[in-house]
Amino acid sequence: MNLTLKIWRQKGPQEKGQMVEYKVTDISEHMSFLEMMDILNEGLVAKGEVPIAFDHDCREGICGMCSLHINGEPHGPDRGITTCQLHMRTFKDGDTIYIEPWRAKAFPVIKDLIVDRMAFERIQQAGGYISVNTSGNTQDANAIPIPKLDADLSMDAAACIGCGACVASCKNSSAMLFVSAKVSQFALLPQGKVEAADRVRNMVKQMDDEGFGNCTNTGACEVECPKGISLENIARMNREYLKASII
Amino acid sequence: MTTLNSKVPQGPIKDKWTVYKENVDLVNPANKRNIDIIVVGTGLAGGSAAASLAELGYNVKAFAYQDSPRRAHSIAAQGGINAAKNYQNDGDSNYRLFYDTVKGGDYRSREANVFRLAEVSGAIIDQCVAQGVPFARDYGGLLDNRSFGGVLVSRTFYAKGQTGQQLLLGCYSAMNRQIARGKIEMFNRHEMLDVVKVDGKARGIIARDLITGEIERHSAHAVVIATGGYGNVYFLSTNAMGSNATAAWKIHKKGAFFANPCMTQIHPTCIPRSGDYQSKLTLMSESLRNDGRIWVPAKMEDAKAIQEGKLKPTAIAEEDRDYYLERRYPAYGNLVPRDVASRAAKERCDAGFGVNATGEAVYLDFASAINRYGSEQAKIKGIENASKEVVTELGEAVIEAKYGNLFQMYEKIVDDNPYKTPMMIYPATHYTMGGVWVDYNLMTTVDGLYCIGEANFSDHGANRLGASALMQGLADGYFVLPYTIGAYLADDIRTGKIPTDTKEFDEAEKEIKDKLEFFINNNGSHSVDYFHKKLGNIMWEKVGMARNEKHLKEAIKEIQEVREDFWKNVKVPGDLNEMNVELEKAGRVADFLELGELFAKDALNRNESCGGHFREEYVTEDGEALRDDENYAYVAAWEYTGKPSEAILHKEQLEFKDIELKTRSYK
Amino acid sequence: MSVLSSSIARKVAMALSALFLIIFLIIHLAVNLTSLFSAEVFNEASHFMGTNPLIQFAMQPVLIFGVVFHFVMGFVLELRNKGARNVKYAKFNGAASSSWASRNMIISGAVILAFLVIHFLDFWIPEINTKYVLGDMTGMHNGEFRYFEELQHKFVPMWRVAAYVVAFVLLGMHLMHGFQSAFQSMGFNNKYSSCVKTFGKCYSIVIPLGFIIVALFHHFNH
């Protein structure tokens, strides 16, 4: 198939960017979206132009590196997948595809389609951990039985890959789904309960300081999340936060 | 010239590590504050090492080429992590894990290292649970286990199909705690381009800031390389696009020996290739082999019809299917080790029984598992005389609960429903057992330069068992390196800060800058990927799953030609002082082009078949790998002397005192 | 306002004020509905609400505060949220993942605010003027309670009824998202949430519809 691509080009963090139009031809429907981008880049290199920079790494939907806003949606129109798992069979011959970076004040563009997600790092550093040192003498892994439901819910929250699609899809650029996934993972486990109050306070404070917007419960993040992280996590974080603030 | 001394402690194997720990030199906490350690790579090995060393009090500088440690490719490990906990009471023990690993590695690993690995495996699970890793649990709230290839016990702990992710997030969280304390200084989007040696000791690195393009100098008292394997030498592999061998190769060129490069694992259950545009291959977890049965048509006419798209696999009668693994290896069946399963698939496909248009695929079929689970569920739910539809529905629900994310991934890529028609799979490059040579302390042949995780060669011999990579990465980082590095650093407490304005740093930096400038200024005609694909093609065709002398010799020559062409004709657009993805790739492919040659040279040297290294000349009568313990029970450690072709071979003779050397049989 | 310095606290405050207003709407509608079948009951109820000191001097200020707070906070949050994305997308397909109502609370809110201005000019200000400026606390006009007649009189002009209908349709949309959103903000999301959502949907249809019926009824029956 033949496609028209409108892609955001921006040379550097301080430069002004703009949408630039490209054409690609003879694209197979079995290609992944990023393989289509590879072909476009191969063509640009052949012409001596600078290829389009985009983040990607594992190309199997788990590292969370890829981050394209495709036709108005993070990771494109398909559900439950990352950009690297999006296949060209989702599109039709002759389509025009808009490709943009994540847009949020807290995610400044580094180059073209690559954004800086260090805000997520700082949020994690503010409390996204259990304070336990490496030791060969921690108690036995089976010493505390954990109800299967709690363990499963914790795993569901922990499945977050930190890609930032929640922020990108949110009309408010809110990072609540991301932060709540980490808060929930630990809040559901006995090991994480000890520091739960400090954790949620500190992580929320950092989230606010980074300049993310407020959650208005539109639910877009849950729909666009490639890992299906549930809004229940946001409710849980709200509860945890209230508990931590009141007590 | 450095001689190979593995520094394995004396004494019975069961006591070696305990005695070592009791007698090792320690660094006083106050002195640790004056010691800097560089950790390059932040996957399971690097991440756990960085966190543990920082907890101990050392000043750690950690480097990752991604924007976060959480994105290292350890995250893609699906199936699980082994530990000899014996929670299932099925006869597991440290010794059995040790035995399985050495046997699985086809007797080409170092006994003492593997035993230590088995010994600390239990502590890894304890540590991870304490960190909040949400392992799968049963209804009693206790940890669940599953089975992996090459073993007869259930010792694999897992977190859905995302075990690597959860373990990595565990060590990432431990790192975050130390980053917040200021004990780890994190350098995201930085790539190490060389190690700097001062007076024969590793004292720092040169790194490039991938955002600004700036070349930076970083000094430390010791340098730890944890940058993973070199599977991307094949261009197509299950590795991440950015996974590279640059750090490992650069330290090799500075004096670290490179061991057993030919020992590469081709994983049997990957999604087959679909076209030339393909950028990477996707792995389907080995855990699928717990329930999936592998087969090809037994009749050639059926195979032909399937290849032409005229026949559906579900239309082939049970008696016309060849469950070749169950046929050839009745004891282990579909759960034979990876090398065996891969070769068996290749054998069937080479014989013309492949099941897709390219003829390079076999079926992984869940129909009987769906039926089995469905009947069981019907019984549990008290449904009598359940119809076939009900049984199928119930069975599919069980399969979905176990492997849902993998099935979804398959369907998204292949556009075919694996619940209804069997999956198609084919082997692909996955893991590299070979790597930088290290001694018992995990130190390379360069003083103060350590190598851990997949990047080193030590624990998996010629073939790695499933769910053992995560175990090794975390064992090295959490429980081994923190002890062994202290022994070395105990002599460094008076050294003081290492200056970076010395001639050693000047020279290393200049060399790198010159090379980067060459790339930018070279007026070539082909992109970096063009050369990478060419290299990958040679590697897969001639140094792939089955190798022979003729092909290996050809491969060496062809790789040299591609390399020459690369340095003449590579084209890198853009500038030095900016984010430049093509420039990053150019440096990595330049190293792969050298490594590939050493790889082939090593394969040519090893005149035997063992594990992942299969030489067509050395097979038993029934087509199994034929080892030559008399002549090749050694680690081939190569010393760089200027060109891969002129590398000097050093042998570390492997001694097997606690395990009898036997022909590996899974029949 | 340091209590409200965090994003979650601000959301909870929005939710609490919303729930308060949701309850107020029920009471308001209940009084209005009486006008459909009995002018007398409506007059009695209106007089009680208009003169009871507890309602006038305790509940009314709280209500006014609640309304003002909800609006001010809503606009403040909207401004902050707009600022969290400094470069707009060239293409943003919000409809793919969320409802129009949830994304445009500020628009439905603004329409409701505009309506409230009319509503205050129509009812509340004349009422305050009569009671507290002119000091007439009797509620009488020509010997009868004036409330029912005033109500009917207001719904004579077509434009006002139309504005009324539009405003309440938007109120319905505002509630359609706001009702369940308030519970989510306060951390309520569990197995009972589907009940809350269903109830919220019914509420968002029934309450505005009730107000609309009252308006139409008096427009066509005066």
The pLDDT tens digits for B566-611 are 999 999 999 999 999 999 999 999 999 999 999 999 999 999 999 9
Residue B165 in contact with partner chain A when CB distance is under 8 A:
yes
DSSP tag of B205: E
> What's the pLDDT at B1?
47
Percent over 70 (pLDDT), chain B: 100
Domain at B601, CATH number: 1.20.58.100
Q: What is the rounded average pLDDT of the residues B232-251?
A: 97
Q: Is B477 in the same domain as B511?
A: no
Contact C118/C168 with Cβ under 8 angstroms?
no
What span, in angstroms and rounded, lies between the C-alpha atoms of B346 and B361? 9
Contact A51/A88 with Cβ under 8 angstroms?
no
Q: Which residues of A touch C189 (CB under 8 A)?
A: 231-232, 234-236
- pLDDT of B93 > 60? The answer is yes
Q: Pick from A72, A173, A224: which is nearest to C85 by CB?
A: A173
Smallest CA–CA distance, residue B281 to chain A, in Å, is 9
Q: Is B121 in the same domain as B228?
A: yes
What are the tens digits of pLDDT across the range B446-498? 999 999 999 999 899 999 999 999 999 999 999 999 999 999 999 999 999 99
Whether residue B650 lies inside any domain: the answer is no
All structural domains of chain A with their residue ranges:
3-110, 117-131+145-246
Q: For A3-110, which CATH superfamily applies?
A: Beta-grasp domain (3.10.20.30)
Smallest CA–CA distance, residue B21 to chain A, in Å, is 12
What span, in angstroms and rounded, lies between the C-alpha atoms of C202 and C56? 30
DSSP tag of C57: I
What span, in angstroms and rounded, lies between the C-alpha atoms of B88 and B127? 20
What span, in angstroms and rounded, lies between the C-alpha atoms of C91 and C94? 9
Whether residue B307 lies inside any domain: the answer is yes
> What's the pLDDT at C143?
85
Contact B637/B652 with Cβ under 8 angstroms?
yes
Instruction: Specify which residues B637 forms β-bridges with.
Output: B259, B650
Interface contact B581-A53, CB threshold 8 A = yes
Instruction: Specify which residues B61 forms β-bridges with.
Output: B38, B185
Q: Is B34 in the same domain as B104?
A: yes
> What's the pLDDT at C1?
44
Interface contact C85-A208, CB threshold 8 A = no
**What residues have CB less than 8 Å from A96, skipping those under 6 apart?**
A3, A4, A5, A6
The structure tokens listed for A6 are: 């409108």
Q: Which residues of C touch A219 (CB under 8 A)?
A: 97-98, 102
Number of domains in chain B: 3
What span, in angstroms and rounded, lies between the C-alpha atoms of B556 and B613? 17
What span, in angstroms and rounded, lies between the C-alpha atoms of C153 and B245? 85
Q: Pick from C93, C99, C103: which is nearest to A72 by CB?
A: C93
Q: What is the rounded average pLDDT of the residues B106-116?
A: 97
What span, in angstroms and rounded, lies between the C-alpha atoms of B63 and B43? 10
- pLDDT of B537 > 80? The answer is yes
What span, in angstroms and rounded, lies between the C-alpha atoms of B269 and B238? 11
Contact B213/B578 with Cβ under 8 angstroms?
yes
CA dihedral B101, B247, B176, C185 (to 10 degrees): -90
Contact B106/B635 with Cβ under 8 angstroms?
no
Report which of C109, C128, C129 is spatially closest to residue C60, judged by C-alpha positions. C128
Specify the 3-state DSSP secondary structure of B342.
Answer: helix
Q: Is B191 in the same domain as B330?
A: no
Q: Which residues of A touch B209 (CB under 8 A)?
A: none
Q: Which residues of A touch B279 (CB under 8 A)?
A: 32, 34-35, 38, 59
Whether residue B333 lies inside any domain: the answer is yes
> What's the pLDDT at B549?
98
Catalytic annotation, residues of B: 338
- Taking chain A (247 residues) in runs of 10, the rounded mean pLDDT of each run is 97 96 95 96 94 96 97 96 96 98 98 98 98 92 96 97 98 98 98 97 97 96 97 97 90
Q: Is B292 in the same domain as B420?
A: yes
Instruction: Specify which residues B146 forms β-bridges with.
Output: B156
> What's the pLDDT at B638?
98
| A positions 102-141 inside 8 Å of B (CB) | 110-111, 114, 116-118, 120-121, 124-126, 128-141
Q: What is the count of residue pairs from A and C with beta carbons less than 8 Å apart?
A: 139
Q: What is the pTM of this model?
A: 0.95
Task: Write the ipTM.
Answer: 0.98
| C positions 156-185 inside 8 Å of A (CB) | 177, 180-181, 184-185
Residue A19 in contact with partner chain B when CB distance is under 8 A:
no
Q: Is B164 in the same domain as B30?
A: yes
How many angstroms separate the most distant Cα atoms in chain B? 83
The structure tokens listed for B136 are: 């799968």
Confidence of residue B3 (pLDDT cuts 50, 70, 90): low
Q: Pick from C12, C90, C190: which is nearest to A98 by CB?
A: C90
The structure tokens listed for B469 are: 């990579």
Which residue in the block uniquely carries the two structure tokens 């427009």? C219
- pLDDT of B650 > 60? The answer is yes
Q: Is B508 in the same domain as B385?
A: no
Domain A117-131+145-246 grouped into CATH 1.10.1060.10: yes
Contact A85/B409 with Cβ under 8 angstroms?
yes
Half-sphere exposure for C212 (CA within 13 Å, toward CB): 16
Which residue in the block uniquely carries the two structure tokens 């449904």? B383
Interface contact A104-C84, CB threshold 8 A = yes
Q: Which residues of C touch A174 (CB under 8 A)?
A: 7, 81, 84
**What residues have CB less than 8 Å from B363, skipping those under 6 apart?**
B294, B295, B296, B313, B355, B422, B423, B424, B425
Q: Which domain holds residue B325?
A: 269-429
Q: Pick from B134, B136, B527: which is nearest to A185 by CB?
A: B134
Smallest CA–CA distance, residue A217 to chain C, in Å, is 6
What span, in angstroms and rounded, lies between the C-alpha atoms of B142 and A146? 7
Whether residue B648 lies inside any domain: the answer is no
Task: Give the class (CATH, top level) of C2-81+104-220.
Answer: mainly alpha
Angle, vertex CA B169, rays to CA A233 and CA B209, nearest 5:
115
Q: Is B61 in the same domain as B194?
A: yes
> What's the pLDDT at B2?
52
How far CA B598 is from CA of A115, A245, B555, B593, in Å, comes to 38, 61, 11, 9
Report which of A129, A113, A140, A124 is spatially closest to residue A52, judged by C-alpha positions. A113
Q: Which one is predicted more confidently, B383 or A52?
A: A52
Residues of chain C with pLDDT under 50: 1
How far CA A162 is from CA of A61, A79, A182, B170, in Å, comes to 11, 17, 10, 14
